Amino acid sequence: MKALVKSKREPGLWLEEVVEPRPGINDVLIRVQRTGICGTDVHIDDWNDWARKTIPVPLVIGHEFVGEIVEVGSNVNDFHPGDIVSGEGHVVCGRCRNCLAGRRHLCAHSQGVGVNRPGAFAEYIALPMSNIWRHANSVDLDVAAIFDPFGNAVHTALSFPVSGEDVLITGAGPIGLMAAAVVCHAGARFVVITDLNPHRLKLAEKLGVTRALEARPSRLAQAQKDLGMTEGFDVGLEMSGSAQALREMLANMSHGAKIALLGIPDQDFAIDWRTVIFNMLTLKGIYGREMYETWYKMTVMLQSGLDIRPMITHQFPYAEYRAAFEVMRGGQCGKVILNWS
């Protein structure tokens, strides 16, 4: 089969002919239809420090996908050929304390699809049945292809109650944009999002935010005044990985505010811990999705009218992956999809 492979320990990805995976007794085999490109895939292509330390070579990469089941292992009863499914990108151990207690997203030994084990940028992928989410019939295939990052957005956005609250989101990348749509849908009063990239701020406006602001000092304080806010934001969603963004967020939160942190900083940095302590802030790190509560919420919010399609901006056939990765690097985009059909 055709697959996008990290086959050399140097920058680049190569479209190669590789052996089609065979499903084990507890696995399903999926014919991949569409995939989403994640920042992680760009890092693997670039071969940055993290990728060099993490990625076994050769490896089929990619973890955001939708496809159709074509074969199931002999132990699999609940999935059938023809089902339209996505895969949870973290394969958990099933035996650690958290897994045994049903808190699988907190597994101490999770393996990443397309990071530690073969991924989805291929014509076929085999995954354990415990990693499969069957989509509702009504699902849009482009949206289904990005349930993985959509799940990051939903997990973060719904970590704290947002109904009737004022929410600040830093970073209007694909995940920040989806989180903005989610908190609007979930009944926040004001949703303010910041970014450095005007193109992304435009996309945020399409998704219905109250204010999309260029990240500049004092813009947030001014926005609070303009909106008639007096005590700061109640909930913060950090989705940029930027030190500056988190510092500005901390300075604009109400006493007792809650902050969920998804963005991954590329190095250590200092924050004003006195603000955290004196203002009694709660900070929560977020990794991945809750299995499978987040997946359930994504499915039903789409059925109750949530629309994240405006942030899907580009589509390419898989053979044009080079152009797709260049669009991602340029940043003049929301989500970029590769079509494998």
| Binding interface with ligand NAD (CB under 6 A) | 39, 152, 170-176, 194-197, 200, 215, 239-242, 244-245, 262-264, 286-288
Question: 286 contacts which partner out of ligand NAD, Zn ion, none, CB within 5 to 8 A by kind?
Answer: ligand NAD
* C-alpha closest to that of 336 among 193, 145, 179: 145
Q: Which residues bind Zn ion (CB under 5 A)?
A: 92-93, 96, 99, 107
Question: 99 contacts which partner out of ligand NAD, Zn ion, none, CB within 5 to 8 A by kind?
Answer: Zn ion
Instruction: Characterize the bridge pairing of strands 59-60 and 2-6.
Output: antiparallel
State in angstroms the smallest separation of the CB of 286 from ligand NAD. Answer: 5
Question: 96 contacts which partner out of Zn ion, ligand NAD, none, CB within 5 to 8 A by kind?
Answer: Zn ion
Find the DSSP H helices in 283-320: 293-303
Question: 62 contacts which partner out of Zn ion, ligand NAD, none, CB within 5 to 8 A by kind?
Answer: none
Question: 341 contacts which partner out of Zn ion, ligand NAD, none, CB within 5 to 8 A by kind?
Answer: none
Is 155 an annotated catalytic residue?
no
CA separation for the pair 128, 270 (Å, rounded): 41
**Which residues are registered as beta bridge partners of 235?**
167, 258
CA separation for the pair 235, 239 (Å, rounded): 13
* C-alpha closest to that of 133 among 12, 311, 248, 297: 297
Q: Decide: helix, strand or coil at residue 338.
A: strand
Find the DSSP H helices in 81-170: 97-100, 141-145, 147-157
Complex with ligand NAD: residue 170 or 210, whichever CB lies closer? 170
Question: 18 contacts which partner out of Zn ion, ligand NAD, none, CB within 5 to 8 A by kind?
Answer: none
Quick one: angle between helices 321-330 and 39-46, nearest 10?
110
Complex with ligand NAD: residue 6 or 90, whichever CB lies closer? 90
Complex with ligand NAD: residue 54 or 197, whichever CB lies closer? 197
State in angstroms the smallest separation of the CB of 77 from Zn ion. Answer: 24
CA separation for the pair 244, 127 (Å, rounded): 39
Is 210 an annotated catalytic residue?
no
CA separation for the pair 41, 115 (Å, rounded): 9
- Concatenated DSSP letters for 207-242? TT-SEEEE--TTHHHHHHHHHT--S-EEEEEE-S--
Name the residue type at position 160. F
Complex with ligand NAD: residue 72 or 246, whichever CB lies closer? 246
State in angstroms the smallest separation of the CB of 115 from ligand NAD. Answer: 11
Complex with ligand NAD: residue 8 or 216, whichever CB lies closer? 216
Complex with Zn ion: residue 106 or 283, whichever CB lies closer? 106
State in angstroms the smallest separation of the CB of 194 from ligand NAD. Answer: 4
State in angstroms the smallest separation of the CB of 83 from ligand NAD. Answer: 26
The residue from 43, 63, 105, 185 that is catalytic is: 43
State in angstroms the smallest separation of the CB of 145 from ligand NAD. Answer: 14
Dihedral of the alpha carbons of 127, 132, 135, 140, in degrees to the nearest 10? -50
User: Any idea which residues carry the catalytic annotation?
Assistant: 40, 43
